[in-house]
Amino acid sequence: MEFGASLGISTIHLAAGLKDRGRGSLITTEIHPVKASALSANLSEAGLGEIVEARLGDALETLRSLPGPVDLLCLDGWNELHLPVLQLVAPHLSPDALVIADLSAGDPDARARHWRLSLSSQASRSRSLHLARESSRTTSTA
């Protein structure tokens, strides 16, 4: 599952991995309608439309219903929404789930967000929280 697809760069990487593996599917979310439209076109062009379900709208609404256990959660929306999205998805995380959060550079609250995400990730018993972009300074394994 992915929060924040934009035009689909990360979505295509994740879905291509699933395709190579021969199983699994991806639910992604995008709130901006123009981006969501480009996302769908990009996924089709990449031959990944069958693997990805793109949900248009606010992730806090569109992720309320999930079909099954989530093995990987990639948080790449706006930083302030990562924690609420994690909390929404947490009951669906498989015991060994991997949570990845990409905190955009320049966020003055990045360190505090890191700790809140880390604690929440541990509470949900997911395997680890990896924070991208902030290098070793804010990367942790829970």
* Residue ranges binding ligand SAM (CB under 6 A): 4-7, 9-10, 29-32, 35, 58-60, 76-78, 81
Residue nearer to ligand SAM on the CB measure, 7 or 73: 7
The rounded distance, in Å, linking the Cα atoms of 19 and 23 is: 7
- Identity of the residue numbered 27: I
Sign of the CA dihedral running 56, 50, 73, 35: negative
Residue nearer to ligand SAM on the CB measure, 10 or 138: 10
Among 11, 20, 21, smallest CA distance to 43 is for 11
- Both structure tokens of 25: 């599917």
Residue nearest to ligand SAM (CB): 4
The secondary structure element, H or E, covering residue 12 is helix 9-21
Q: How far is the CB of 140 from ligand SAM (least distance, A)?
A: 21
Q: How far is the CB of 30 from ligand SAM (least distance, A)?
A: 5
Residue nearer to ligand SAM on the CB measure, 122 or 133: 133
